[in-house]
Amino acid sequence: MNAKSENRFIRINLIAIIATLVVILAGGVVRSTGSGMGCPDWPKCFDQYIPPTSAAQLPADYESKYIEGRKKKNENFAKYLESMGKHELADSLRKDKSILEHEEFNAAKTWTEYVNRLTGAALGILLLLTAIYSFAYKQKAKRIIVLSFLNIGVTFYQAWLGSIVVSTNLTQWVVTIHMLLALVILAILIYTYNYAKQLYKEPTVIMYRVAWLKGFLFFTIAISILQIVIGTEVREAIDMIAKSLQYNGRNTWVSKVGDMFVYHRDMAIIVAISNFIVYKMVIDRFSGKALPLIMANYLMIVLVVQVLSGLLLSYLGMPPYAQAIHILFSMIMFSVQYYLYLLVYRAKTYKSA
């Protein structure tokens, strides 16, 4: 039975998981509305804690000031890449003049990005509380403490990378890494939540081979992550096309992406089939109110929403709301898959004496 302090950790951990998904949704809104450079500096916005609502409130000569600051930060980042042996990437960063392009002030975009940053700050506080409350397990499950503090480290790196996303003017591969780190934060939170919930429970015993389910579910998670990476690259291509067209002609964006969109669409079919097979394998092995069966049902609901939002993006001219939903539900799908995997991982196949 969980102690009061342990229940408090479980609650705050669950809230942190939900908050992470809210941050991802906010990031999706930023991407879909082209608000990524709404604030040209970081962590402040136009050197203010409360951003301006009109051009009259902008700091004097802010364009040249932020461009100079961006140059210095990018040079430091290039040196960091060189220290990791990534000389070509560092070189391309130095030569990319588009990074220093100025974007006109837009109050709506500025506040969209600012709200995104506020949600990120709230998540940081929740992760700190999660780490503090994890000491409830110092005698029984030290891995929860280690992982909770590791997540704070990952979050600090993610915040620093967020500043690089701004200073490099949304350079594509930096945005992709930023998204993958969000997956890492989410995965750690889900793991610690599940571990704390299952700490005093006996493993589930089922009558039918569970190893096949574990293996195929792992495969499904792997291709879903690959699909997220490809989807991020598609979104980056869309961002470039949208910017070049000054965010006009939405109905032409998809057709201009090329082969990358075709790969993303074909992979979506594989992901959908794999998730359905997982669902079938789960309902063949679990019954009643078993948590894996409940999660498998959620997985199908999420899959339907994800497919429908993808169709909206493809055939209705990339509506911004569908972009945000598509990003959010790709992460919810990963969350449900991973939680289901953790539940199934503890299950054992019945063996007669």
Q: Which helix (H) or strand (E) holds 171?
A: none
For position 170, what pLDDT does the model report? 56
For position 206, what pLDDT does the model report? 61
DSSP 203: P
User: Are the C-beta atoms of 208 and 285 separated by less than 8 Å?
Assistant: yes
Q: What is the CA radius of gyration of the chain?
A: 22
- Which residues make beta-bridge pairs with 206? 349
Closest CA to 277 of 227, 206, 346, 223: 223
What are the residue ranges spanned by the domains of the chain?
1-201, 202-353
- Which residues make beta-bridge pairs with 107? none
* pLDDT averaged per 10 residues in sequence order, the chain, 353 residues: 84 96 87 74 81 83 74 78 78 72 79 88 93 92 94 88 66 73 93 91 68 90 91 78 73 78 88 94 84 93 93 79 86 95 79 52
User: Cα 276 vs. chain centroid, distance in angstroms?
Assistant: 23
Q: For helices 4-32 and 172-198, give the axis angle rounded to 10 degrees.
A: 160
116: CB partners within 8 A, 6+ apart: 23, 26, 27, 29, 30, 35
For position 231, what pLDDT does the model report? 85
Distance CA 253, CA 2 (A): 52
Distance CA 241, CA 265 (A): 19
Q: For helices 142-167 and 62-83, give the axis angle rounded to 10 degrees.
A: 130
For position 158, what pLDDT does the model report? 84
User: What would the CATH number be for the domain defined by 202-353?
Assistant: 1.20.120
Q: Model's pTM, two decimal places?
A: 0.84
